[in-house]
Structure 1
Amino acid sequence: MRLVDKRIFSLAAISLAVIAGSARASDSAEGKGTAATAAPVAAAAIQTAVPIGQALPLIDPRSAAALNRSLAADRITLPAGGVEEACAGFPTLFRCVAALHLAQNVKVGGGFAPVREMLLYDNQASIADAARAFAPDVDPLAAEKTAQGQAMRDLRKIGVVR
């Protein structure tokens, strides 16, 4: 899950401005009302679309189920809530899945949990930093590249990326 940021609200405001503009054009073409009819609807839509501070899911339930199956096929252990619970707090699904693969590939003691804690605690830490911290005998850049490749493969397989 990720927190809603200003860019999403800007995009919503732009989209609603376009909708309001098209409503104005159709109203004036039909000889009805003005922008006054569209403005309250647009304002209400912005206020109810996504409350400030509410987290948006990184993945829809159908794709999450497919990703759970894909990760299970790679013998990656997930928490009871599946990928949705494992990835809660990560800024991107790609970063989360790469971290899952890294924990499996370098056989981190404690599994994914310590890698997750490190990456969530320090947003600037890379997958290579996690590899360096939990498996000092492994080449961190090679481990990062492998984990990211596996993550991209999984996300392509379920249709999240092309």
Structure 2
Amino acid sequence: MIFDKIESFRNQKQGIIEDLRVCISYTPNKDNDLLCFMEQYLKAEKKNRAKILKEIKKCINGEEYENPFLAYNYYDEKDIKELDNILDGFINKLRVISKASNDLDEEVEKIIADTIFKINEIHDKCYGELIDSWRSIRLIELIVSSAKYVGYENAIDILNEKRLW
């Protein structure tokens, strides 16, 4: 029973992590890539346009060109792995808490606050792009349900007070 519940929290976490990975994966598509390059060209300063034109030419000629969407990626696999580790640590810490502890509320509050602080830091480092509204809802659900599992009912209050995503 305990293992099943912990496993369900890990599955919730994995859904968030997989969504992040999908957003940074890239499959070349000449038409989409040309549109992306053209948008960059129109928005670029004059001094940067020659480089973009070279990439457009490569794309049109069927030569190898750089991923045009890199300009829009504000996080990478390293950031995803860091969030994955933060969430694993959160789940592991809650798993070992004793429900009979006299200081249960204080222990859980500290774990939640520490986790939110770490997520805030990485989210900020990624220019506020790591946690979108879909992921925010999933993270809140994960944290609240995990805290309730160990007997703590006020996780949403800490989240609303401390989260920046």
Q: Of the two structures, which has the highest relative contact order with CA contacts closer than 8 Å and spacing of 6 or more?
A: 2
Same fold? TM cut 0.5: no
Normalised by the length of structure 1, the TM-score is: 0.30
